Amino acid sequence: MRREIGSRVVRWLVVAAMCALPVQGIAGNGTAQMVVVAKSGGDKTNPIDAVNSITDASASKPYLIKVMPGVYDLGTASLVMKPYVHLEGSGDSSVITSAIVNTDRQCFLGTVKMANNSTVKNISIKNSGGAGADNLTYIGVVFSDVKTALESVSVYSGSDNLPAGEAIAVCSRGASADATLNNVILEARSGTGTSDTVLVADNSTMLIKNSKVVAYSAGSNHVIDCHNLDDMPTVDYLSMANFTLINSYVEGNTSGANNEIYWGGGCNKATIVNSALVANGGMGGNAVYTNRDTSIINTKIKGDNNVNAVYFDFDSLLNNSMKIAHSLIQGTIPNLTNVKLLSNFDENFNPIANP
């Protein structure tokens, strides 16, 4: 009886709180069913059990999984979302963590794996990175051939003690992958390994807006990285990934020799608007490196310690181009072939000549 009363109290508090929240995007075409995850007094004590308990979700019968404050450790498992199942935490006090790994730098397994027509909101997601090894990749959230969104989520991958391998906060892959991330914090950390905070792979599409994206490593950083995973590492031109960054802050921190804040080598098209790209430390590299069509508008680009502001790797076969307009550029642009500059300034607000 005591446990039943506790469960009713938790559910009553959750329902009361949800009454103040907008239901659009949660309920869809019907009234949302609710499953409460809590350390005690809820319907389930584990978010995996909560998702697995749902077998009849649909557009007319969506579900909301409400995760109460607490740390929910999945071990080496993954929370695999289902269509029309939405997960919402209680802010950073609700934490889902695991140490699940991918081999050969793939993008299939993460602490959370998204599904079509599902959303994750107001929660913290972590992948601790385990012991670290050269052929292992640790990912927070995976978008694999799905169209869906993260909203007000913090995603952390790796740690300062990660001796090898790769830490990735969020990755997308597959032609059907269309990921929208709004108001998120994405952070990847490694010791002497690699921090690629965001990986946009193959033919996927990703939009990040109103967000902060950061990488820390004593090895190397590709803070936002486009690659063709299926034919890695030599055929990135096969990738048709599209990436857009709006109203966001991107920062790379490393003592290593590679500090590319945004790497668009495998992007079909990259668009950056009203943002900041900042390279801190490092002994070489580029704040922005790309060899595909790239547009940067009203953005701060900051290189540091022999780090170029921008390096555009022109390829006559691709006939690619870069356009930078109304931006503050600190550092050099060593290759201006097929680069168009319009109304840009240096760190002293001196006009940068158009080539």
Following DSSP, what letter does each residue of 228-283 receive, concatenated? -GGGTTT-GGG--EEEEEES-EEEEEESSSEEEEEE-TTEEEEEEES-EEEEEE-S
Is residue 84 within 8 A of residue 56, CB to CB? The reply is no
> Which has the closest alpha carbon to 289: 276, 274, 303?
303
pLDDT in tens, 151-177: 999 999 998 887 777 899 999 998 899
- Domain ranges for the chain, please list them: 99-352
Structure tokens at 44: 């389930």
Amino acid of residue 287: A
> Can you give the three-state secondary structure of 34-103, one letter per residue?
EEEECCCCCCECCHHHHHHCCCCCECCECEEEEECCEEEECCCCCEECCCCEEEECECECEEEEECCCEE
Q: What whole-number distance in Å separates Cα of residue 224 and Cα of residue 188?
A: 11
Q: How many helices (H) and strands (E) does the chain have?
A: 2, 33
Which residues touch 12 (CB under 8 Å, ≥6 apart)?
none
The model's pTM: 0.89
**Partners of 144 in the beta sheet?**
173
Residue 79's pLDDT is 98
- Residue 247's pLDDT is what? 98
How far, in Å, CA of 151 to CA of 182, rounded? 5
Of 207, 172, 205, 165, nearest to 188 (Cα)?
165
Of the candidates 43, 17, 18, 13, the residue with the CA atom closest to the CA atom of residue 31 = 18
Provide the 10 A C-beta neighbour count for residue 16.
Answer: 9
Give CA–CA dist 25/15, Å, rounded.
17
Give backbone dihedrals phi and psi of 19, rounded to 5 degrees, phi first: -60, -25
CATH number of 99-352: 2.160.20
Point out which residues pair with 80 in neighbouring strands: 113
| ∠ Cα 69 72 73 (to 5°) | 155
Low-confidence ranges of the chain (pLDDT < 50): 1-5, 9, 12, 15-25, 27, 231-234
